[in-house]
Structure 1
Amino acid sequence: MKPQREFIAERPLAEHCPELLKRGPAPEDLLHLLEKMGQRFARRLSGAFAPLMGGEAPIVSCTSPRETKLSSLNSSIAALAANSLLAIGSAQTPMLVSIEAEPVLRIVDRAFGGKGEAPAPMPKQFPPAAELMIARLEVLLAEHLAAAVTATAGRASDGDMPDITAIRRDGSLTALSPFDDNLPLAMLSLEVDDGGVLPWLMTVAMPFATLGRIFGYAEKPARRAAPHYRGDPMAAPFGDVPVTLSAVLVDMRVPFPAIATLAPGVILPVSVSRQIPLRVGENTIAHGTVGTMDDRVAVKIDKAFTDERTNP
């Protein structure tokens, strides 16, 4: 059906301000900022590493950043490495810095007057002296990372530098488990040529959310959920629902060989605690004392863990 006259809208089209139409940074934009930060970080580390390398400044270069995931990091980082999880401002903005184990052990050898040699074969875990050196490296890296972030973000002065602190560390990246497995990460590698046979690697990785926050792209605040009111357990329909309550008299560990030889007549010594837990399903809701009442076994409630009811 063809209309006989032209359709005219009753209201003009909505016009939105640029602030409402502004989109967040694309991953490639954040990776570009990370590359700039990495180049500044590399230049600063060249001089910062000199006292640890016998006074000679190594050549530090930055590779192009890329997107990755934790599974790829687990396969590319050795079983033993100095893996440090740092927080930029707060624990909600984590960053991983990983250094190969061999250069860390060479630095430790120089610190004790050696020629900068690593043991062969490599140990399965870091010795205490290496742990102390890794803690020192974390402070050094945090200082120069903060300066590189400040310069890249275009902040006015050193007073605007973010506070970067170490959260935890582990020689095994799998045990450290710094991020969720499927979380997209921005990864940057730095090559350090300290005059050895081959340059060694330092890996920097962080979620894109961390990368956006340190460069001034704050996430929108989450909407506040409506207040949740609990129902009255004494009122319908809750009051008529039957619930199974269990009193655990004995909770004991028995070796598997003893279980395998169980037979009628075998006596298992047990000790019944004076305070026994009362459970609904898997949740302990109270503790009580075993006794008797009217010639029947009874439990007197000594401590209850039920929450106070909230009125709507």
Structure 2
Amino acid sequence: MKPERQLVAERPVAQHCPELLRAAPGAEELLPLLTRAGERLTRPLLAALAPFAGGKGLAVKAKPARTSTLDDIAMFAPDLAANSLIGVGADSLPLLATLDAAAVLRMVDRTFGGRGEAPSPLPAEFPVSAELMIVRLETILIRELAEVLLPGQPEALQPLRRNGNLNLLEPFARDATVAHLELDVTEPGGDTWQVSLAVPLPTLGALFGAAPQRTVAVRHPMADPLSEPFGDLPLQLSAILVDMRMSMATVAAIEPGMVLPVAVARQVPLRLGQATVATGTVGAADDRVALQIRTAF
């Protein structure tokens, strides 16, 4: 079948600019960003871990981030460690955090009044006391990570699951390329252990690749307290006429007929809940005790 005339496009062929077709950031762009984030994390992590890991004299130092895979990490992983899978953002993109088992057990020992010693050899699994400590440490790490990686979004990181055995946790595909960041924690006694973060590149791209969204503050007009539905709202007000101190002996000796001298304050506070809304002086009106407002807030 042969067309009667030459085909002509109805509109020019789309020419997409390179910026629109830009590929997702690669490891060479993301690793320096993670390294700098690790350096910013050292100070708040030091302050948060000090009460558990020996106090004054603790040191935290970040190593440069490098690429790896879960297979490579698992090859050198100990049989027991505090492995936590953390979800990032609404899609719960995976992020793996690992803390040294012996360090956790030393923290537990200090908590119960010990000198910070871990059993040797290490147990096959964590005792219940250590599991509770891991939850506390996980909460601390998530809080500080969120502040460094996603400031102003404390709910952006959420714990998903944890396991003492990395192979049983299965945080993500074993051959997936991840950015591996290690922070060396040196205790005052000289013991050094690692806080390790393994972040798949898609997770890292979501953390560093997208520009933060700007939020626009919405201003609402102030409600008129004299109009509906607020005007008829009943409020419980209280006037504190007397506020006095008495000894325990006097209170214990109180009995019917006893006269207690009290002095009514010159400025009686009128309160709505815990907030003082006005002050006034006590008087009488129509044979009833009344409060004449002197100052309104």
TM-score by length of 2: 0.63
TM-aligned CA deviation for residue 15 of structure 1: 4.8
Q: Name the structure 1 match of 2:131.
A: 131
Q: Name the structure 1 match of 2:102.
A: 102
TM-aligned CA deviation for residue 41 of structure 1: 1.1
1:183 to 163, 176, 200: 176
CA 1:132–1:70 in structure 2 vs 1: closer, same or farther (change >3 Å)?
A: same
Q: Which string of whole-angstrom CA distances, capped at 9 and with x for unpartnered residues, describes residues 221-276 of structure 1? A: xxxxxxxxxxxxxxxxxxxxxxxxxxxxxxxxxxxxxxxxxxxxxxxxxxxxxxxx
Q: Which string of whole-angstrom CA distances, capped at 9 and with x for unpartnered residues, describes residues 73-93 of structure 1? A: 111221100001011124541
TM-aligned CA deviation for residue 22 of structure 1: 2.7
Structure 2, unaligned runs of 5 or more:
1-10, 212-297
1:59-98 mapped onto 2 (5 Å cutoff): 59-90=59-90, 92-98=92-98
State the AA in 2 paired with 1:188.
L
**In structure 2, how many angstroms separate the alpha carbons of the residues matched to 1:56 and 1:42?**
15
Structure 1, unaligned runs of 5 or more:
1-10, 151-157, 219-312
Q: Which has the greater radius of gyration?
A: 2
1:152-163 mapped onto 2 (5 Å cutoff): 158-161=151-154, 163=156
**In structure 1, how many angstroms separate the alpha carbons of the residues matched to 2:50 and 2:89?**
28
**In structure 2, how many angstroms separate the alpha carbons of the residues matched to 1:169 and 1:13?**
52
**In structure 1, how many angstroms separate the alpha carbons of the residues matched to 2:156 and 2:16?**
37
CA contact (8 A) 1:105 1:118 kept: yes
Q: Name the structure 2 match of 1:17.
A: 17
1:1-312 mapped onto 2 (5 Å cutoff): 15-56=15-56, 58-90=58-90, 92-150=92-150, 158-161=151-154, 163-217=156-210
State the AA in 1 paired with 2:97.
V
CA contact (8 A) 1:83 1:98 kept: yes
**In structure 1, how many angstroms separate the alpha carbons of the residues matched to 2:112 and 2:19?**
58
CA contact (8 A) 1:88 1:162 kept: no
State the AA in 1 paired with 2:52.
L
**In structure 2, how many angstroms separate the alpha carbons of the residues matched to 1:135 and 1:17?**
48
SS at match of 1:36: helix
Judge which range, 125-134 or 207-216, deviates more: 207-216
TM-aligned CA deviation for residue 95 of structure 1: 0.5
SS at match of 1:28: helix
TM-aligned CA deviation for residue 192 of structure 1: 0.2
**In structure 2, how many angstroms separate the alpha carbons of the residues matched to 1:133 and 1:90?**
27
Q: Name the structure 1 match of 2:273.
A: none
**In structure 2, how many angstroms separate the alpha carbons of the residues matched to 1:129 and 1:14?**
63
TM-aligned CA deviation for residue 14 of structure 1: 7.0
CA contact (8 A) 2:24 2:209 kept: no
Q: Which string of whole-angstrom CA distances, capped at 9 and with x for unpartnered residues, describes residues 146-188 of structure 1? A: 01103xxxxxxx4344521111111100111111111111111
**In structure 2, how many angstroms separate the alpha carbons of the residues matched to 1:131 and 1:147?**
24
State the AA in 1 paired with 2:99.
I
CA contact (8 A) 1:49 1:57 kept: no
**In structure 2, how many angstroms separate the alpha carbons of the residues matched to 1:172 and 1:98?**
10
Structure 1 vs Structure 2: percent identity of aligned residues?
A: 43
TM-aligned CA deviation for residue 122 of structure 1: 0.9
Count of residues in Structure 1 that have an aligned counterpart in Structure 2:
201
CA contact (8 A) 2:81 2:98 kept: yes
Q: Which string of whole-angstrom CA distances, capped at 9 and with x for unpartnered residues, describes residues 109-134 of structure 1? A: 00001110001111110000000000
**In structure 1, how many angstroms separate the alpha carbons of the residues matched to 2:153 and 2:124?**
41
**In structure 2, how many angstroms separate the alpha carbons of the residues matched to 1:104 and 1:65?**
24
**In structure 1, how many angstroms separate the alpha carbons of the residues matched to 2:119 and 2:12?**
76
**In structure 2, how many angstroms separate the alpha carbons of the residues matched to 1:134 and 1:117?**
17
**In structure 2, how many angstroms separate the alpha carbons of the residues matched to 1:216 and 1:21?**
14
Q: Higher helix share goes to which structure?
A: 1
TM-score by length of 1: 0.60
Q: Which string of whole-angstrom CA distances, capped at 9 and with x for unpartnered residues, describes residues 17-50 of structure 1? A: 3532433212111111110111111221111111
